[in-house]
């Protein structure tokens, strides 16, 4: 019993401290899939799309199609979810602090997106400082069956709630980031791309005792 | 008042169909239920926040000219409008509901209800197209529709059925949910010191803050009825807090909810 | 291990939750004195306790010798999973009484794998001849504190809990792990799970503020009740 426990223990530690990105990547992928499969209560994705669609529709109606304002509202809605959802994420995964944005991006795509939305987006477009990257949503569970009217296509970031969630969640782990949509297939673009740019690590807020 | 449980005795064939239907439901794409619950919960602070914005922004800003000029500038501005990087103004305070005046509060209620109505209308479509062989919309009378709401609609959106359906068979229904899913985890800041002995200490002021969360299901009920041929103005739907049966008191929110539904146009009834 | 109390301290050192689990027991020889008298801390004392713990935690992190800080790359901060700490054990619980999920955590336990401890150089454990206190800190800066009536034998690094006969220390990568501390970390991570489930889902809860949820209280109590 204790033998098998300690061997799985060192495997866990080894994967996390591994210098090989491929190993880490694989570990996160397995972790995300395992949590999704075994630990998560699920609901019909179509109900989710529909509900979100109704919320956006109501915002358009109330704010008289002022898409800039709608984007803002969707963003703060997401932010309010993100600052709370991060605790669920950390309690469930207990993953160590990421030493760099490369690992952060892996955790976001393979673990966070997997256990909350059941998708694993691609990470691309790193800048040379490696503090900015893009999340490419090849599938987006918020926009299934959605089509935008002409005027909305120019200004509305329909899924902006996701940016808000990411912003809120990252801030709670002391990463001050800008999170923005760059492109969206709903606007006629070829891809759906969210850009995350690290502004600064909020060093003063990192809990003492962690270093 | 005659009493109608919404469980029906089913023959093996119907059970098999039900099983098939559940398997089908299982096979559909899924997302995390917690995320969905948080999305539903955020509807209320969002609605209140929007109300706040509408009150502080002069309506002229929304005038046609403004939109026109914004559209013209688009080529320049499109890429520049980005999400705020400072989070100072992002946090919603749900307690602001308490500060809203009667008019604002009612607007917030209406906004949440409107979202519910839109959702209810679409839910019917969703459920019609899921091949649930137990549903036959052509032959549905009002009672069957209410049962459909209690069972299928509630199950789909809140993960449980309505606890109790009562009717006088003359167009009045009471749908009773002792643990309405959305509010179960709520704990409202109390200024009074709750007595240890009386666990039911919850003031009307606190209950008022929860009211907007009841407008969502009210809207859903109205929306489903609308999509099945009962126009909004002919349906009265009101939610009230009711006491829970003794054995349920310790679990979750201290009050149960009763949705009172009345169809006002007599000739619509069966 | 008997848990006397659970505390939660927010990232600024404010006490946001406190629950004591000692039921008042009347001393038969002197019915006027109850055994809880030694624990009567009023709410002001508790606030001071919380902020003091917060400070000592930070100081202990700062006085870590530099040499150790530099060489600590080989320390393993992974905590082993101890099965069914604070939840019903499927081997001893009749199947129909076995919960299939805890809150939104599906399965017969909140988690089942070894996990990373975020608290590396802060105070982890404090003991006197009367009690032991354990601290678990999250990445967001929350501190979950358990006060246990079990006493650690002085001079050894190994925890000795009467109910944990057998392998008291597990030797991994050369570092000795303390059984009592491991169990406390398992327990406190579960309190964190319950917090994320019942406190974070309440839209009326404002971050950093005191927790007054009965449901949360019930779930925490259930964890403590299921401890051996």
CA distance C124 to chain B (A): 31
A207 touches chain C (CB under 8 A): yes
In a domain, A186, yes or no: yes
Q: Which pLDDT does position B168 carry in this prediction?
A: 87
Q: Which ipTM score applies to this complex? A: 0.91
Long-range contacts of A153-157 (CB under 8 A, 24+ apart): A153/A186, A153/A187, A153/A188, A154/A67, A154/A187, A154/B71, A154/B74, A154/B78, A155/A67, A155/A68, A155/A71, A155/B70, A155/B74, A155/B78, A155/B81, A156/A56, A156/A67, A156/A70, A156/A71, A157/A71, A157/A74, A157/A181, A157/A184
Tell me what the mean pLDDT of segment C17-42 comes to: 64
The total number of structural domains that make up chain C: 1
Task: Report the residue from B34, B45, B184 with minimal CB separation from C203.
Answer: B45
Q: How many domains does chain A have?
A: 1
CATH of the domain at A63: 3.30.1380.20
Pick out chain A residues at pLDDT < 70.
1-19
In this prediction, what percent of chain B has a pLDDT beyond 70? 73
Chains that touch C (3 or more CB pairs under 8 A): A, B
Cβ of B94 within 8 Å of Cβ of C204? The answer is yes
Give CA–CA dist C216/C210, Å, rounded: 12
C137 CB neighbours in chain A (<8 A) are 207, 209-210
Asked if residue A73 belongs to a domain, the reply is yes
Residue A10 burial (C-beta neighbours within 10 Å; 0-12, 13-18, 19+): middle
Test B115 with A141 for CB contact under 8 angstroms.
Answer: no
CA angle B214, B219, B225 (to 5 degrees): 135
- Please give the full DSSP string across chain A, using - where no structure is assigned: -HHHHHHHHHHHHHHHH-S-HHHHHHHHHHHHHHHHHHH--EEEHHHHHHHHHHHHHHHHHHTTT-HHHHHHHHHHHHHHHHHHHHHHHHHHH-PPPPSSHHHHHHIIIIIIHHHHHS---EEE---TTSSEEEEE-SS-TT-TT----HHHHHH--TTHHHHHHHHHHHHHTTEEEEEEEEE-GGGT-SS-EEEEEEEEE-GGGSPTT--
pLDDT at C155: 38
The strand pairing partners of A42, in sequence order, are: B32
Instruction: Give the DSSP H/E element, type plus range, for residue B172.
Output: strand B172-177
Q: State the best of B30, B74, B80 to mutate against chain A, taking most chain A CBs within 10 Å.
A: B30
Tokens of B176: 């009773």
Flag the least confident range among A41-50, B109-118, B188-197, C32-41: B188-197
Q: What is the pTM of this model?
A: 0.86
Phi and psi angles of residue C20, each rounded to the nearest 5 degrees, phi first: -100, 140
Residue of C nearest to B45 (CA): C203
Of B44-53, C10-19, C151-160, the range with the lowest mean pLDDT is: C151-160
- Each as own residue / partner, the long-range contacts of residues B75-79 (CB below 8 Å, 24 or more positions apart, any chain) are B78/A154, B78/A155
Chain A: partners with 3+ C-beta pairs within 8 Å: B, C
Q: How confident is the model at residue B66 (pLDDT cuts 50, 70, 90)?
A: very low
In the predicted model, is pLDDT for residue C146 greater than 90?
yes
Q: Give φ, ψ of A144 to 5 degrees.
A: -50, 130
Domain residues for the domain of A186 are 22-203
B185 in contact with chain C, both atoms CB, cutoff 8 A: yes
Average pLDDT value for residue range B130-146 = 75
Q: Is A200 part of the contact surface with chain B (CB cutoff 8 Å)?
A: no
A96 and C77 within 8 Å at the Cβ level: the answer is yes
For chain B, positions 142-161, list CB contacts with chain A under 8 A: 156-157, 159
Contact list, C203 vs chain B (CB under 8 Å) = 41-42, 44-45, 94, 186
Domain with residue C160: its CATH number is 3.30.450.70
* B42-48 average pLDDT score: 93
- The pLDDT assigned to C29 comes to 59
Distance from CA of A47 to the nearest CA of B (A): 8
Owning domain of residue C38: 3-225
Residue B94 has pLDDT above 50, yes or no: yes
User: Contact C201/B41, CB-based, under 8 Å?
Assistant: yes
For domain B15-20+30-62+94-268, the CATH class is: alpha beta
Closest-approach residue (CA) in chain A for B92: A80
> Is some CB atom of chain C closer than 8 A to the CB atom of B193?
no
The residues in B 232-251 lying below 8 A from C, measured between CB atoms, are: 250-251
pLDDT in tens, B211-270: 999 999 999 999 999 999 899 999 999 999 998 887 776 677 888 999 999 998 755 444
Q: Given an 8 Å threshold on Cβ–Cβ distance, is B186 in contact with C203? A: yes
């Amino acid at each position: 019993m204790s033998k098998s426990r300690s061997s799985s223990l060192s495997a866990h530690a080894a994967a996390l401290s591994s210098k090989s990105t491929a190993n880490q990547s694989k570990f996160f992928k397995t972790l995300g899939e395992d949590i999704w499969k075994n630990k998560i209560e699920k609901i019909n994705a179509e109900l989710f799309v529909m509900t979100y669609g109704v919320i956006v529709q109501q915002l358009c109606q109330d704010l008289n199609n002022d898409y800039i304002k709608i984007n803002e509202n969707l963003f703060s809605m997401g932010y309010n979810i993100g600052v709370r959802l991060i605790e669920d994420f950390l309690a469930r995964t207990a993953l160590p602090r990421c030493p760099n944005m490369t690992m952060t991006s892996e955790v976001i795509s393979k673990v966070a997106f997997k256990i909350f939305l059941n998708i694993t987006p691609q990470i691309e477009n790193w800048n040379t400082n490696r503090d900015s990257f893009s999340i490419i949503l090849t599938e987006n569970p918020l926009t299934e069956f959605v089509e935008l009217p002409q005027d909305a296509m120019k200004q509305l970031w329909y899924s902006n709630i996701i940016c808000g969630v990411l912003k809120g969640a990252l801030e709670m782990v002391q990463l001050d980031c800008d999170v923005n949509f760059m492109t969206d297939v709903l606007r006629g673009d070829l891809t759906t791309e969210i850009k995350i740019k690290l502004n600064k690590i909020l060093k003063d807020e990192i809990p003492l005792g962690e270093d | 008042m005659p009493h109608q449980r919404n469980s029906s005795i089913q023959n093996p064939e119907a059970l098999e169909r039900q099983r098939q239907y559940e398997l089908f439901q299982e096979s559909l794409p899924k997302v995390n239920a917690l995320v969905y619950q948080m999305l539903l919960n955020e509807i209320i602070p969002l609605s209140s926040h929007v109300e706040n914005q509408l009150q502080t922004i002069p309506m002229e800003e929304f005038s046609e000219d403004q939109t026109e000029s914004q559209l013209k500038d688009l080529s320049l501005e499109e890429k520049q409008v980005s999400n705020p990087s400072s989070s100072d103004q992002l946090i919603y305070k749900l307690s602001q509901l308490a500060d809203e005046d009667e008019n604002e509060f009612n607007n917030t209620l209406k906004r949440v209800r409107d979202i519910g109505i839109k959702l209810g209308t679409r839910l019917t479509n969703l459920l019609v197209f899921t091949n649930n062989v137990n549903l036959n919309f052509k032959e549905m009378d009002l009672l069957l529709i209410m049962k459909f709401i209690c069972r299928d609609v509630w199950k789909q959106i809140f993960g449980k059925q309505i606890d109790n359906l009562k009717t006088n068979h003359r167009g009045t229904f009471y749908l009773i949910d002792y643990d309405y899913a959305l509010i179960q985890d709520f704990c409202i800041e109390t200024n009074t010191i709750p007595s240890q002995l009386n666990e039911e200490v919850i003031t009307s002021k606190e209950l008022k803050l929860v009211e907007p969360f009841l407008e969502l299901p009210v809207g859903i009920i109205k929306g489903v009825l609308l999509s099945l041929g009962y126009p909004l103005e002919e349906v009265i739907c009101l939610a009230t807090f009711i006491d829970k049966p003794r054995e349920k008191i310790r679990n979750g929110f201290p009050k149960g909810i009763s949705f009172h539904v009345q169809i006002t146009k007599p000739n619509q009834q069966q | 291990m008997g848990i006397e109390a659970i505390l939660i301290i927010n990232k600024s050192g404010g006490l946001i939750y406190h629950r004591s689990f000692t039921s008042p027991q009347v001393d038969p020889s002197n019915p006027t004195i109850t055994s809880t008298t030694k624990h009567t801390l009023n709410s002001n004392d508790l606030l001071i306790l919380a902020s003091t713990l917060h400070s000592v935690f930070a100081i202990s992190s700062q006085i870590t010798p530099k040499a150790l800080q530099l060489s600590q790359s080989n320390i393993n901060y992974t905590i082993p999973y101890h099965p069914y700490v604070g939840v019903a054990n499927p081997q001893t619980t009749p199947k129909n009484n076995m919960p299939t999920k805890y809150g939104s955590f599906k399965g017969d336990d909140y988690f089942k794998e070894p996990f990373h401890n975020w608290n590396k150089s802060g105070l982890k454990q404090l003991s006197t001849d009367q009690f032991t206190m354990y601290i678990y800190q999250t990445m967001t800066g929350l501190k979950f504190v358990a006060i246990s009536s079990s006493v650690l034998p002085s001079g050894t690094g190994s925890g000795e809990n009467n109910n944990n006969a057998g392998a008291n220390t597990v030797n991994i990568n050369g570092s000795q792990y303390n059984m009592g501390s491991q169990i406390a970390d398992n327990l406190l991570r579960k309190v964190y799970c319950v917090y994320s489930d019942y406190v974070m889902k309440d839209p009326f809860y404002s971050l950093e503020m005191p927790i007054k949820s009965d449901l949360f209280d019930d779930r925490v109590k259930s964890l403590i009740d299921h401890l051996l």
